[in-house]
Amino acid sequence: MSDAPASLDERLARALAPLLDRATSSILLAVSGGPDSTALMHAARSAGGRVQVATVDHGLRAGSAAEAEGVGRLAAELGLVHTILTWEAPRRDSGIQAAARDARYRLLADHAARIGAGLVLTAHTLDDQAETVLMRLMAGSSPSGLAGMRGERPLAPGIRLVRPFLDIPKIDLVAYCERNGLPFLRDPSNADERFARARLRRLLPLLEEEGLTAARIGRLAARAGRDDAALEQLSQTVFSEIAASSEGGLHLDGHRLRREPEAIVLRVLDAALDGIAPDHEPPVPKRLERLETLVLEALLPALAEGRALRRTLRGVLIETDRKGAIRLAAAPPRRVFAKRR
């Protein structure tokens, strides 16, 4: 156990105090019934926070409704209002965990808006952060992705998602629940090796034996987050200096842009693509490799050589002329030709 009981109580209180102090309305706690979120609920109540509790029932396994009701009983014992949010959207065979995650945040945001809560707190831990960073590393993520989960981010207009326990190991929260006699659930999907996160969880102890601990991965995420924030601020400044809106599109000063480091050029082009934002169904996913290929292998060489260029990415048409001007606009719809019989 990495913390003595008393110091852990203080650590949880310190993590929650700034949020409880700054809240001008009720705070919504996302509580699944696992040890992490159960500890969050108890610690927030012990700190005297004006909080409400919500449990999302995804209905993905038998007994999930009874588990949500169990969270409600514990919340009632603590004197907290509890609401069960049920996911009733159509299911898909593939990508079920991602779909469930998206639904969970959407349901929490809608409920927070209904009760007037400006903050939604989840109990993601240091272990969750380490798993997230490693999964993104294996997926070939950018430095921005290696920053992992942010401690705080916008969730919906006027509502922010906050993760106050990101630097606290899961084992400490389990110990907190046991010491306080709090019942908690163990999600069987956490050990289901059909899911990549569960398979990775099995490998983490081996990585720790080589020195790659959750704490070190967490520090990597924090450092990547600092660098990402600095690069984002600089790229926004450059974007504001070289971009001009035009009817149905956007113009960039290519000669000015190509004098910037490649990391800034990539971010400026990414922001420009987002600015065009054509409607797509389904949405076009972002792939860093495709943006790198466009910028590093095509766009920058064309600007340097004074060549015209015409490419399409994420539903956006990108054109350069021989004078170094870059124009972005929504790409025309693809023509569909009927097959001859």
Cα(42)–Cα(40) distance, integer angstroms: 6
Reference 68, options 80, 81, 50, 82; nearest CA is 82
Phi-psi region of 158 (alpha: psi -120 to 50; beta: other; left: phi over 0): left
Neighbours of 339 (CB within 10 A): 4
**Are residues 61 and 152 in contact, defined by beta-carbon separation less than 8 angstroms?**
no
Cα(119)–Cα(299) distance, integer angstroms: 42
Q: In this structure, are strands 152-156 and 159-162 parallel, antiparallel, or unpaired?
A: antiparallel
- Indicate the annotated binding residues: 32-37
Cα(68)–Cα(85) distance, integer angstroms: 9
How many residues are listed for the chain in this entry? Answer: 341
Residue 118 has φ and ψ, to the nearest 5°, of: -90, -15
- Indicate the annotated binding residues for ATP: 32-37
